[in-house]
Amino acid sequence: MSAVTKTSRPTLRILLSSTALRDTLIAAIAAVALALGFPKTGAAWLAPFGTAALFWTFAGASWKGALTRGWVAGTVFFCISYSWWTYTIGSDVGPFWAGAAVFVCAVVDGLTWGVAGALYVLAQRRALAALAPLAGAAVFAVAEWVRSIGPVGIPFAQLGYTQAETPLRVFAAYIGTYGITFVLCAIGAYGADAIVRRNVRAFGVTVAVLICAWIACWLAWPARHAPPATIPVAAVQGNIVQTLKWQPGSLELAVGRYTAMTRALAAAHPRLVVWPETVIAIRGMGLDLDPSLERRFSALANGMKATLVVGSISEREGNFYNSLFFFTPGLARAIYDKRQLVPFAEDFPAERLLSWLPYVGELNGGFAHGTTNGVFRTAAGLVVAPEICWESAFADLVHAQVARGAQLLVVSTDDAWFGETSGPYQHAQISQLRAIENGMWLVRAAATGVSGVIAPDGHWTQRAPMDVQSGIVAMVGPPPRSLFARIGPAPVIAALALLYLVIVVPRRRP
């Protein structure tokens, strides 16, 4: 036993003093710092330091070492960033399975950080030393895009979102949220390079270029010269929590409360009134199959001389949809169906293949996917692009509607699912970036918060506190638009991927 102990102690000392373990711990600490950049902490200033620490751990590492450190860091980051999911999942399947679900998602998404780290090491070996950090920043932003797309993509916790209220937000009007992630990673990668290789000059040049780019973007920013906001709109936050939403009598409660709160806004003459997602919860049927209730909402819209947007369920050909109903005086009622469903909540991808897993039935809401990038004319005189909850986090979905002529963004959501966790605040922050990216006003109605109106430069002109009944009235105007509104996210990602390849592909020697 003594011999084993004597042999173990040197091994333990070597392990604890090893560079690999040290760098892995630093990568994990960097991940914590980056996670703190999101609400509720909201320490956005930590983001450049977090990226610098992360890229520092990649310096001189093997591709396997970078893959491991990046994967560990990503897992830590996403465990923290996704922790608010457990508030809802835990109530359905229990804390163990809720924690397991968050961990599995964190491990899968964390792998994108590991792959980005390994590809950065490749750039360090094959590219010019001065350009390798730029390649690392580009591939990290592309990796963030990869984990954010598709039917099981999770577009939350993008690093660019942390800068919604910092000067860096101006870049979103040109290169989107992924572009801000690229900028943060470029600062961090060159900062780390300045420490490791003493290449302070390259870091100084990077900072100078970014400052010049920021000044140019600020001066040309269309949101700074937006047309006057003269159209009154409203967002109604009825504060009906999830524990009441589906109880007996809840339909009468919702209809009565939201109708009364809307009528109370009549003196402000809003031309558009937005209610939250599925606020009219009719058990077992769609609102479109209840003519008396539809007539009631139509009469309310006519009386207000406004377009009334009501979140509910629609039913067609045996399929249920998470929908928004548009009641506009002088126009037929229109319906928008949610296109991007929440995986494992509203929809269960590959349900038949995974039917053997526990709680599969409870994780499938049974909704069908909408198929139209709908835009709608309203009494406000502006063409509206509606987003229901989760899909507001997908830049490509919003851009598809902007490309069809949308002039005003509307987000209807039920963030009551996440209580007082950081979830509702993170989701609201995403709306700020959608407004900046597209240079448009955004009206947001949430069941328990955060509701309000966001200007094209990303600031809230009106905002309701969490967990209160509130009717927000504010002015909006024609969109100043932006470069990103014209091009969308695809060219940005393609340019970043091409940048990495151009830097990494070795030059032919004579």
* pLDDT score at 311: 97
Span 226-267, pLDDT tens digits: 999 999 999 999 999 887 877 888 999 999 999 999 999 999
Whether residue 470 sits in one domain with residue 333: yes
Task: Report, as an integer, the average pLDDT of 139-162.
Answer: 96
Please check whether residue 134 lies inside any domain of the structure.
yes
Task: Report, as an integer, the average pLDDT of 103-114.
Answer: 96
* pLDDT score at 365: 59
Whether residue 204 sits in one domain with residue 143: yes
The enclosing domain of 375 has a CATH number of: 3.60.110.10
Q: Write out the residue range of the structural domain in which residue 73 sits.
A: 2-221+490-504
Are 482 and 173 in contact by the 8 Å Cβ rule? The answer is: yes
Whether residue 339 sits in one domain with residue 466: yes
Task: Report, as an integer, the average pLDDT of 447-452.
Answer: 96
Q: pTM of the entire structure?
A: 0.93
Please check whether residue 339 lies inside any domain of the structure.
yes
Task: Report, as an integer, the average pLDDT of 85-108.
Answer: 83
Residue 4 has pLDDT above 50, yes or no: no
Contacts of 463 (CB under 8 A, 6+ apart): 450, 451, 452, 453, 472
Whether residue 366 sits in one domain with residue 235: yes
Span 280-303, pLDDT tens digits: 988 778 899 999 999 999 999 999
* pLDDT score at 15: 44
Percentage of the chain exceeding pLDDT 70: 92
Task: Report, as an integer, the average pLDDT of 470-483.
Answer: 97
Residue 8 has pLDDT above 60, yes or no: no
Residue 411 has pLDDT above 60, yes or no: yes
Span 183-224, pLDDT tens digits: 999 999 999 999 998 889 999 999 999 999 999 999 999 999
Tokens representing 196 are 């490791």
Are 447 and 257 in contact by the 8 Å Cβ rule? The answer is: no
* pLDDT score at 20: 82
Sign of CA dihedral 337, 338, 343, 346: negative
Helix (H) / strand (E) containing 181? helix 172-196
Are 341 and 388 in contact by the 8 Å Cβ rule? The answer is: no
Whether residue 259 sits in one domain with residue 199: no
Please check whether residue 208 lies inside any domain of the structure.
yes
Are 100 and 83 in contact by the 8 Å Cβ rule? The answer is: no
Please check whether residue 57 lies inside any domain of the structure.
yes
Please check whether residue 509 lies inside any domain of the structure.
no
Beta bridge partners of 367: 320
Whether residue 284 sits in one domain with residue 169: no
Mean pLDDT value across the chain:
91
Beta bridge partners of 460: 454
Whether residue 293 sits in one domain with residue 199: no
Residue 391 has pLDDT above 60, yes or no: yes
Rg (CA), the chain: 25
Are 454 and 435 in contact by the 8 Å Cβ rule? The answer is: yes
Whether residue 343 sits in one domain with residue 477: yes
Whether residue 136 sits in one domain with residue 284: no
Span 308-330, pLDDT tens digits: 999 999 999 889 999 999 999 99
* pLDDT score at 5: 47
Block residue for tokens 């999830």: 242
Sheet containing 376-377: order of strands: 376-377, 383-388, 408-413, 442-446, 452-454, 460-463
Q: Closest Cα partner for 470 from 269, 232, 239, 233?
A: 239
Please check whether residue 510 lies inside any domain of the structure.
no
Q: In the chain, how many domains are there?
A: 2
* pLDDT score at 193: 95
Alpha helices in 59-130 (DSSP H): 63-81, 86-93, 95-126
Please check whether residue 460 lies inside any domain of the structure.
yes
DSSP string over 140-171:
HHHHHHHHH-STT----S-GGGGGTTSGGGGG
Whether residue 323 sits in one domain with residue 203: no
Q: Which three-class secondary structure state does DSSP give residue 471?
A: strand
Task: Report, as an integer, the average pLDDT of 491-500.
Answer: 98
Whether residue 285 sits in one domain with residue 150: no
Percentage of the chain exceeding pLDDT 90: 80
Stronger pLDDT, 351 or 490, i.e. the higher one = 490
Residue 94 has pLDDT above 70, yes or no: yes
Please check whether residue 89 lies inside any domain of the structure.
yes
- What is d(CA 111, CA 115) in angstroms, rounded to the nearest whole number? 6
Whether residue 461 sits in one domain with residue 317: yes
